Structure 1
Amino acid sequence: MHNKSIIIGTGPAGLTAAIYLARANLNPLVIEGPEPGGQLTTTTEIENYPGFPEGIQGPELMDKLKIQAERFGAEFYTGWVNKVDLSKRPFILDIEGKGKMTTETLIISTGASAKYLGIPNEQENIGRGVSACATCDGFFFKNRELIVVGGGDTAMEEAQFLTKFASKVTIVHRRDELRASKIMQDRARSNPKIEWALNRSPLEVMADEHGVTGLNVYNSSTGEQEWMSAHGIFVAIGHRPNTTFLENQLLLDDHGYIVTKPGSTETSIPGVFASGDVQDSIYRQAITAAGSGAMAAMDSEKFIESLQRVHV
């Protein structure tokens, strides 16, 4: 089956790209993985997405975007993209359960997955006090005690941001030395709302019917377990861009994010575009992902128009 455009991913970036391409009568095919909607499906209430003054639930927002894309003619298929061949155009995608498909343009919007700790009760409490996004969920913890797990710049930034809302933020790190830059450490240490729990390794998230109640940790200095009370636990140990299926066919940065040309969504291969968190390691917001999805669709449409001019 041949397509003018295929979009991989159904977060804000992929769905916005689908809306734009469908309205341009390009009938995009959108490939969604086993967890349609991306990271926002693990978020409860979203209050910073424009147009929803009362807030909106993450899954509901994703459903609305999908319905909007379908309204204009986008088609959806659920399945893994096992591999892609970008060596020549049309590009070839090997999709589980559907076989091989070809496309003139490809928009990669596969996002980046937050790294979690992998400890008991963590996954069960995502959205119930466990989070990997301070800017997304910090507002819901006004005057509460919070924990940030991590020792890099991201952890310091998250902790600083959370002090705008929390009564106290404790940074938990498994070693006595931090990976964060000196300036970020100094800022965190000078903040009176931030406390430190170094040489502590998280063991288990504790929760009741209302959500997170605390964190069990192992103190390597004393060799004993400790209980730390908290209403929220923010995991800040980095993100992993979902690019392994590309098998290094595109130019990636040192952290595995797709490199795009400044001011566009063009990648190192003409006809292949990237949008959302898979190419954005800085902002990682729903609204910035949606904006880059619109850009990718417009870039893709122009590319398709250029192909048609060549064949005329």
Structure 2
Amino acid sequence: MNYDLIIVGAGPAGLSAAVYAGRALLKTLLIEEYTFGGRINDTAEVINYPGFVESSGREIVDEFKKHAESFSTNDFTYGTVKTIEKEGELFKITTKRKRVFYTKAIIISTGTSSKVINVPGERELTGSGVSYCATCDADYFINKDIHILGSGDLALEEADYLSNFTNSINMIIIHDVDQFDGNAREVERIKQNPKVSFTWNSRLEKIIGDGKVESLVLYNSKEDEYSTVSSDGVFIFAGMTPNTDVVKGLVELDDGGFIKTDEMMRTSVDGIFAAGDVRRKVLRQIVTAASDGATATVFAERYIRNRGIV
């Protein structure tokens, strides 16, 4: 089947791109691998998206999706894109289930996944006390004593959310005392939370357990010593890994695996654009992802029309 535009990934960037594609009357297909909305579905509270004083990620995504679905020129499907190839003036997209689509332009908006830090015990105990998503797994830790690795915005927000379920939370932070990576508002809120304590100058070295998390080995860089602490679980918020496997070797990536683009969201390949967290950028938020999606579609449309392949 042929399309004017195919958007790969249906997070805020992809859904925003679909809205602008609908306005431009482009015949568009939006392909999502797992869940429309992406990682934002796991965000319990959003207070920094304009027009929504306080909402959940899922509620915002629902509005994005309804808007994108309101255009008759937009199609939606689930699938895993396996290959992207150029055939003449068109791109050929093949999914894991061997469905084939042709398109004049592509927007990659596949987002990111939680970074695995590869300490001993992490992979073996994932799902048995090791987690990367508070909204997904909070109810498994009711009245438990847990740890959180990280001090960025996500770690702070998730700590606050998890405190509604747990008995106690200890945050493992690599920096000196009172040095956080998150914004000031979240820092002040978490410091006032009576259930949250902090272990400074430390990193996670090992996760121990027989079928479930039982303890953690920590290394204190300031004291140059190891310690073992009891734990019912650990949430790891150590950053994000871009979902760019499908375009490796096709478009230019940076050292972290993020897609390089210009301000018009153009990649190193004519006709392929990127939007949202999957691209190299300084701020990864819903509002910037939505902006990227809009920009990508505007310039994808210009690319198509200027080449006379509509």
User: TM-score of the superposition, structure 1-length normalised?
Assistant: 0.74
Report whether the alignment pairs 1:126 with 2:134: yes
Residues 19 and 69 of structure 1 are in contact (CA less than 8 Å); yes or no, is this contact kept in structure 2? Answer: yes
What letter is aligned with 2:189? F
Task: Indicate the SS of the match to 1:103.
Answer: strand
1:22–1:6 Cα change, 3 Å: same
Aligned counterparts, 1:254-293, within 5 A: 254-261=255-262, 263-293=263-293
Residues 151 and 182 of structure 2 are in contact (CA less than 8 Å); yes or no, is this contact kept in structure 1? Answer: no
Aligned counterparts, 1:94-113, within 5 A: 94-97=94-97, 99-113=99-113
* In structure 1, C-alpha distance between the alignment counterparts of 2:43 and 2:208, rounded to whole Å: 23
Which residue in the other structure is 2:119 paired with? none
- Structure 2 residues not aligned, in runs of 5+: 117-121, 142-147
Report whether the alignment pairs 1:247 with 2:248: yes
1:72–1:260 Cα change, 3 Å: same
Residues 10 and 110 of structure 1 are in contact (CA less than 8 Å); yes or no, is this contact kept in structure 2? Answer: yes
Deviations, residues 45-76 of structure 1 (Å, cap 9, x unaligned): 211111112x2221222122111101012210
Report whether the alignment pairs 1:158 with 2:181: yes
What letter is aligned with 1:166? I
Give 1:16 shift. Answer: 0.1
1:123–1:61 Cα change, 3 Å: same
Report whether the alignment pairs 1:59 with 2:77: no
> How much identity, in percent, do the aligned residues show?
28
User: TM-score of the superposition, structure 2-length normalised?
Assistant: 0.75
1:215–1:93 Cα change, 3 Å: same
Aligned counterparts, 1:27-106, within 5 A: 27-53=27-53, 55-73=54-72, 74-86=74-86, 88-97=88-97, 99-106=99-106
Residues 253 and 260 of structure 2 are in contact (CA less than 8 Å); yes or no, is this contact kept in structure 1? Answer: yes
Which residue in the other structure is 1:196 paired with? 201
1:124–1:241 Cα change, 3 Å: closer
Which residue in the other structure is 2:10 paired with? 10
Give 1:105 shift. Answer: 0.4
- Structure 1 residues not aligned, in runs of 5+: 172-194, 208-213
1:269–1:88 Cα change, 3 Å: farther
What letter is aligned with 2:198? T
1:139–1:112 Cα change, 3 Å: closer
Deviations, residues 92-119 of structure 1 (Å, cap 9, x unaligned): 1002336111100000000111214544
Residues 254 and 280 of structure 2 are in contact (CA less than 8 Å); yes or no, is this contact kept in structure 1? Answer: no
* In structure 2, C-alpha distance between the alignment counterparts of 1:131 and 1:22, rounded to whole Å: 42
* In structure 2, C-alpha distance between the alignment counterparts of 1:257 and 1:199, rounded to whole Å: 26
Which residue in the other structure is 1:138 paired with? 156
What letter is aligned with 1:249? L
What letter is aligned with 1:227? S
Which residue in the other structure is 2:198 paired with? 170
What letter is aligned with 1:121? G
Runs ≥4 in structure 1, deviation > 6 angstroms? Answer: 129-133, 220-224
What letter is aligned with 1:247? K
* In structure 2, C-alpha distance between the alignment counterparts of 1:124 and 1:136, rounded to whole Å: 10
* In structure 1, C-alpha distance between the alignment counterparts of 2:12 and 2:235, rounded to whole Å: 22
1:160–1:234 Cα change, 3 Å: farther
* In structure 2, C-alpha distance between the alignment counterparts of 1:133 and 1:61, rounded to whole Å: 25
1:36–1:216 Cα change, 3 Å: farther
- The number of residues matched between the two structures is 272
Task: Indicate the SS of the match to 1:158.
Answer: coil
Which residue in the other structure is 2:238 paired with? 237
Task: Indicate the SS of the match to 1:56.
Answer: coil
* In structure 2, C-alpha distance between the alignment counterparts of 1:132 and 1:82, rounded to whole Å: 33
1:228–1:293 Cα change, 3 Å: same
Task: Indicate the SS of the match to 2:181.
Answer: helix
